[in-house]
Structure 1
């Protein structure tokens, strides 16, 4: 998985619940444990189980990420889940940078005898799994927001959708085909209602 994809995966843990509301995949430590197993298992020790401290740290990173995603999609509107619920961009930057600083990274060169040299970064000292996870997610968000995909970031504006997505082609308006279908059906019903047709 690309490291910058991890930031988008974290942001979309806030999603439409299928019933007109918003669901939070990280509402409890068990949800974070499931998400990490599916998206970021290489960032934590095998058998990792999230606790309340890890959940709080990751949710703080996610809040900062969503606030900065809302800034990135300007002048378009942010996700409807974020309206008036996020910190201002300066506070979000502070939170994201603080999370990244939880684990100082040192450059490391690996050069196997039968391969090419590879530059990596290793954590300086001993860190808790919660700090490692929060810092890695913050680093992924920094990479995404400073990279070329930020310009293609969009908020899906299909009815009830609250996701962000990276636009694959210039005419893409929705995060997935189901959202496009919902938006077309909603427009059709709105036109019929405006014409006075039941």
Structure 2
């Protein structure tokens, strides 16, 4: 895996949901895309354009050895968000170790708030004569730490607003992902999960008829 690749699925969901989905599953079991500083760095680089941080040159990005603390905070934030999503959705799937590791609801909320407050960031206007003005993001910390705090801030906006009521747990067989319901007929995180769920229903229906 290179610095620019992540094993996590990126489905175009809001960033807090994408972060929750760094825990994913296939036929071989459940996987964690953030199981190392390298994995955390790869995921943050993959979503850099959406956070406003870590989108510069490789020289601006800390090495894996310097990434241990941002990686730890990113994992803690991810686990807290999965705990909050399970609370919102009444998730009927077995609670995975990542969500249970976040503790109770109060512990997950405290973790989210703590990460959001770790590194301040603010907007700055860049405008050179003859060029189009641009909004840029500035931070008092490293780009990696700022990206994690910015993710927490976005998660607070998600769970603190009405959109939290659109968060869904994908109930396709074997799936552990979440998604934001953006259409009244949407039931699954992806087309492949929908196909798998329909195939499972078809199998159960025909097996019942045969019996």
TM value normalised by structure 1: 0.80
1:146-192 deviation digits (Å, cap 9, x = unpaired): 23321211000000011000112112111111111111111121122
1:44-78 deviation digits (Å, cap 9, x = unpaired): 3532244222211100010111111111213xx25
**TM-align CA RMSD:** 2.7
The equivalences for 1:21-170 within 5 A come to 21-40=29-48, 42-44=52-54, 46-47=57-58, 48=61, 49-50=63-64, 51-74=67-90, 77=91, 79-80=93-94, 82=96, 85=100, 86-105=102-121, 110=125, 112=127, 122-123=138-139, 125=140, 127-170=141-184
Deviation at 1:117, TM superposition (A): 9.8
Judged with a 3 Å threshold, the aligned counterparts in structure 2 of structure 1 residues 97 and 151 are, in CA distance, closer, same or farther, namely: same
Q: 2:18 aligns with which of 2, 9, 27?
A: 9
Gaps of 5+ in 2: 1-12
The equivalences for 1:173-184 within 5 A come to 173-184=187-198
Distance of 1:196 and 1:64 partners within structure 2: 45
Deviation at 1:22, TM superposition (A): 0.8
TM value normalised by structure 2: 0.76
Aligned residues: 187
Deviation at 1:80, TM superposition (A): 4.0
Higher relative contact order (CA 8 A, sep 6+): 1
1:20-60 deviation digits (Å, cap 9, x = unpaired): x1111111122112211211253235322442222111000
Contact map agreement 1:79 1:163 (CA 8 A) in 2: no
